[in-house]
Amino acid sequence: MRCSAFLRQKSRGVALIEMALVLPFFVMLVFATVNYAIGLYNQAIITNASREAARAGIAFRVPAPSHTEIINTALNYCADHLVTFGAPAEPEVVIEEPSGRLPGEPLRVTVSYNYTGLMLFKGLGPGTLAATATMLFE
């Protein structure tokens, strides 16, 4: 009887040591996965922001939308949806109209954002996220 009680205590101690060795790696793996998943989510938001801004820019209306309105469309979308961990979202929006605003001509809106990630993993995330949407003027 004494021998089995000793072995049970010994196996509990071994399990505790194994858990202490494995737990930090498991927690880091979970946080790294969350960090990368949020980076992918933010990439989708940047893509949608560029698409929304391009759509707002090509829609026919009088007066035509200004560059400021197009940029604000993208920035407002990012402000509402980006996951930034408390830091203000500061995406950069670039508008290109290579041939002017004639019907059938392209409008390109590029939105880029520097993703920093979780505090533990700064520099290990996706980095700069960027997306370009091209649409034709109506």
Phi, psi of 5 (to 5 degrees): -65, -40
The whole-number pLDDT of residue 119 equals: 63
**Single pTM value for the model:** 0.80
Pairing state of beta strands 127-136 and 106-115?
antiparallel
In three-state secondary structure terms, 64 is coil
Say whether pLDDT at 7 is over 60: no
Residue with tokens 């979202």: 89
pLDDT tens digit string along 18-38?
A: 888 999 999 989 988 888 888
Question: Which pLDDT score is estimated for 5?
Answer: 60
Band (pLDDT 50/70/90 cuts) for residue 130 is: very high
